[in-house]
Amino acid sequence: MGNLTDQNQYIGAIEAGGTKFVCAIAASSNPSEILKQASFPTRDPSSTLNDVIGFFQQNVSQNGSLSALGIGSFGPLGVSSSLPNYGNILATPKKGWQGTDLISWFTKAFPGLKIAIDTDVNAAALAEGMHGAAKDLHSYVYITIGTGIGGGVVINNQIIKGHLHPEMGHLSIHQEKSDSFTGVCPFHKNCIEGLASGEAIHQRWGARAETLPPAHPAWDLQATYIASLCQTLTAVLSPQRIILGGGVMQQSHLLPMIQQKFLMKAGGYWQLPTDYIVTPALGNQAGIIGAIQLATNTL
């Protein structure tokens, strides 16, 4: 990492996750110019946000100031700057966080600071387009398959939003007849997050995904469900590429299984390039790099 005294104006970024908050100070949106990075466990909003604010105050104030702050946060989240719930965490099951107005916290700590906020997965999607697996593409989808499942759509460098933001985890999919698992989603039981998230794997098989060997039947079922998701995304959006990230995708035997199932399901209908379904290029740095990009876009 570089030297924080290189300049007087820095870009601040936060990847606000359910487990930890990653914070970074950068000289530019170039991923090689992240000058300082730290993470703090996610506790209650007040403790966590004071940790984060302290990080920026200690590291920036002596050497300069922040020109902008980008936040990629867990959701659901108010993402329309024209609505009163902008920057608020909405109906999250994460205890204590519903209704937290993230923007207000940072506006109070850093008056006048330009702040941009979006979901963590939208931030990661943006980063993969700027610097990663979707560079030079005008239409792609980024999916994270971890404890939960989420997705972001980027068209012409713009993150897609509408009434709210996509919540792909709650996509309804066809449950295999051989699969009698109830599903872990409290809202829909057997949506894709309910059937194919890391938490679903854990509860269905009684073991965490990373402990299951490649020949375990969990992976065939997992590949079937994720291939269904890819088929749905193809029919609805016809993207140029689908990027599958998140902890569950770190099992390297999974991607080729998904690619093969997708081709079978597609029934020869779609003529797609061989690198249509890929894993991310930025790994677990995508979220924070995306948050830096959100900040940079305000300047």
Binding site for a copy of itself (CB under 8 A): 138-140, 151, 153, 155-156, 158, 160-175, 187-188, 191, 228, 231-240, 265, 267-270, 272-273, 276
Residue placing its CB nearer to a copy of itself in the complex, 222 or 285: 222
Residue placing its CB nearer to a copy of itself in the complex, 82 or 252: 82
Q: How far is the CB of 154 from a copy of itself (least distance, A)?
A: 10
Q: How far is the CB of 297 from a copy of itself (least distance, A)?
A: 16
Q: How far is the CB of 179 from a copy of itself (least distance, A)?
A: 13
Q: Which residues contact 163 (CB under 8 A, 6 or more apart)?
A: none
Q: 270 to each of 181, 264, 273, how far by Cα in Å?
A: 31, 11, 10
Q: 7 to each of 31, 40, 161, how far by Cα in Å?
A: 17, 26, 35
Residue placing its CB nearer to a copy of itself in the complex, 13 or 89: 89
Length of the chain: 299
Q: How far is the CB of 256 from a copy of itself (least distance, A)?
A: 21
Count, in order, helices (H) and strands (E) of the chain. 8, 10
Q: How far is the CB of 152 from a copy of itself (least distance, A)?
A: 11
Residue placing its CB nearer to a copy of itself in the complex, 8 or 269: 269
Per the structure block, which two tokens stand in for 65? Answer: 């100031």
Residue placing its CB nearer to a copy of itself in the complex, 36 or 261: 261
SS3 content of the chain, % helix, strand, coil (to 5): 40, 25, 40
Specify the 3-state DSSP secondary structure of 20: strand
